[in-house]
Structure 1
Amino acid sequence: MRKLHNVTVSAVHDTSTEDAFLAEAQQYRRELLAHCYRMTGSLHDAEDLVQETYLRAWKSFANFQGRSSVRTWLYRIATNTCLTALDGRQRRPLPSGLGQPAADPTGEIFDRHEITWLEPLPDAPREDPSDPSVIAESRESVRLAFIAALQHLSPRQRAVLVLREVLQWKAAEVGEAIGASTAAVNSLLQRARAQLDEVRPELDSPRLEPESPEVADLLARYTSAFADYDIDRLVELFTADAVWEMPPFDTWYRSPADIVTLSKTHCPAENPGDMRFLLTTANGQPAAAMYMRNPQTGRHEAFQLHVLDVRPNGIAHVVAFKEDRFFAKFGLPEVLNAP
């Protein structure tokens, strides 16, 4: 007999033991979701892959020998499930990752629904607010800039980087998980780090946490500028090289002046009160759900989910996801009641 956490496993596994084992395994569901999201850049795909991970774990339970923890075993299954799913798939970019320069804010914009865009991740309820270091580390590993940068890596490079630098596994453990030698793991990690430095050199730049008073003040001014339809006020909120993008449109924009011009040129709002907001968080970052007044019904309907990268000197990056389906995933209503 051997002990696996609180589960006793005998040579012959009965149904009650399997049920107890899988019940214990459920406590890792949220972190496995984050892991699959880092690998794929898609909330939808991550949810499916976590389900597949638990199905594979259940099917192979009889072969689990207890040489690692249940958590480690599940991560191995999840990683290989993701690698299989990613085989032959295109990466999920943001518009700024397509390789084209910043666009003219007065030019035409086009929906590109045929591109499999990067998706946002709803934040989990914070279970242990007493440990700021754990919170910060968890947030950093799902920030949009990091997830977008991971998309430039091959699936195996992603797996190695995440397992080594997010989960802090040893190289030998990673090699065993993905079927590679320690030397191959170290080589993959070195190339992955170099690629990240090339595509996102600002990944380590300081950011403000969503619950900080500075962010609360900035969000209030940001949402107020839109709600009052005083778009010129946005200029003072952005950093000098701020970036704005809004998938599924394939263009992106740089500088406060261009962001303001874009909003004036292409935003369907015309009057104060046309836009309203609910505040939330996504990818460990402050976020604001925008609702646009429907001129036919007068109702404010789900329009965009803005995920903000806030630095000490202002808003450095906004990704405005124009997909209604994200609202339900974030527990947000599709229509706002009258104020």
Structure 2
Amino acid sequence: MADRLDEVSAHAVRRGLVSHCYRMLGSITEAQQVATLSLQSSDDLYAIATRQCLDQDVWRPLPTSMAAASDDPEGRLQQSPEVLWLEPIPDDLTDGRPIGLDIVAALQRLPARHRAALILADIEGWTPARVTDAIGVSAADLDEARLHFDPGQSHVADDAALLDRYRAAFELYDVPTITGFFTDDAIWEMPPFTSWFRGARNIGRLIATHCPAKEAGDQVLVPIKANGQPGFAVYMRDPADNVHRAFQLQVLTLTATGIIHAIAFFDLTLFETFNLPDLLTTLPKSPYEAQPSLHVTRADKHD
């Protein structure tokens, strides 16, 4: 029993440290690497990890942090694959403290030392004096960070029925129905594309023009949880061999009026991070339903 408790405690410590480093770096891969190195120290783990994150001095944006919204969803999409983009984090690696994509993106917009001070003080609960001792940031710097920290409207709550209908609409490739799930001022962005779009109508035009799906059954959506938010791993039918391959990860922000933000991540290495296969053969149990999805059979027919 004692060994089991020690194992659970060690796991909780690692989750907390990984989450802290992720808030600093915006990358789950780099966060795990820094956390692993920090855990080898006998000193204050969070102070050590924070200083290692500051040494990297990396800024990971989303497209909304780089340019204005595009007004041409049917035009050519611009992309910057060389940019180190913000990544999502699987829920099973988080510590239960604020970690929504809106929060992490807003943290990334702060100077690194201000970001560190804000995370340590307002998320980890450190006193300003302890923050100063750990990373040399003054109380005035902390006040400055709080002044400029603006995460916007956050995710409210999952809506299982809405998410199920949203998934069905994508799998049927029913663009008008998909469009109806978004609020009038909703945002759709999709790194590494720098082009992003505002408004349900523009989002519908974007999907209708640029999505490679042509008909019902071309896409299969597997529910995921990232950053405390609902989302889907999207698999697209490969017409060459009639199987569904990894295509993108969507993370959604919901309010009482509908979806206000969708981020589609095209970095396929994230599928491994979320313990998802590159080639879809069966569907795991949905985190939103009591039973596995009934469309497993239809997906299996395409293998």
* TM-score range relative to shorter protein: 0.7 to 0.9
SS at structure 1 position matched to 2:35: helix
1:76 matched residue in structure 2: 47
1:99 matched residue in structure 2: 67
1:51 matched residue in structure 2: 36
- Whole-Å separation in 2 of the counterparts to 1:148 and 1:125: 18
2:148 matched residue in structure 1: 195
SS at structure 1 position matched to 2:213: coil
Provide TM-score, normalisation by structure 1: 0.78
- Within 5 A, what are the aligned runs for 1:170-319? 170-180=127-137, 184=138, 186-197=139-150, 200=151, 202-203=152-153, 205=154, 207-210=155-158, 215-319=159-263
SS at structure 1 position matched to 2:149: helix
1:146 matched residue in structure 2: 103
Q: Quote how far apart the aligned CAs of 1:189 are.
A: 1.7
2:80 matched residue in structure 1: 112
Counterpart contact for 1:52–1:81, Cα < 8 Å: no
Counterpart contact for 1:274–1:292, Cα < 8 Å: yes
Q: List gaps (5 residues or longer) in structure 1.
A: 1-5, 7-20, 65-72, 127-133
Counterpart contact for 2:18–2:93, Cα < 8 Å: no
Q: Quote how far apart the aligned CAs of 1:24 are.
A: 6.7
SS at structure 1 position matched to 2:68: coil
SS at structure 2 position matched to 1:250: strand
Q: List gaps (5 residues or longer) in structure 2.
A: 282-299
More helix by share: 1
2:113 matched residue in structure 1: 156
- Whole-Å separation in 2 of the counterparts to 1:282 and 1:275: 20
Q: Quote how far apart the aligned CAs of 1:333 are.
A: 1.6
The runs of 4+ residues in structure 1 deviating greater than 4 Å are 21-27
1:67 matched residue in structure 2: none
Q: Quote how far apart the aligned CAs of 1:125 are.
A: 7.0
Q: Quote how far apart the aligned CAs of 1:173 are.
A: 1.1
- Whole-Å separation in 2 of the counterparts to 1:187 and 1:267: 48
Larger Cα-atom Rg: 1
Superposed CA offset, 1:308-337 (max 9, x none): 001111000000001211111111121112
SS at structure 1 position matched to 2:214: coil
Amino acid of the structure 2 residue aligned with 1:121: I
Counterpart contact for 2:79–2:192, Cα < 8 Å: yes
Q: Quote how far apart the aligned CAs of 1:22 are.
A: 11
Q: Quote how far apart the aligned CAs of 1:78 are.
A: 0.8
Q: Quick one: which of 243, 263, 269 aligns to 1:325?
A: 269
Alignment pair present for 1:30 and 2:1: no
Superposed CA offset, 1:159-206 (max 9, x none): 1100111011111111111134xxx2x211221122123xx4x24x5x
Q: Quote how far apart the aligned CAs of 1:83 are.
A: 1.0
- How many correspondences in the alignment? 279
Superposed CA offset, 1:243-295 (max 9, x none): 00011111100111000000010000111100001101000100111000001
The percentage of aligned residue pairs carrying the same residue is: 40
Counterpart contact for 2:79–2:195, Cα < 8 Å: no
TM-aligned CA distance change 1:283 to 1:23, over 3 Å: closer
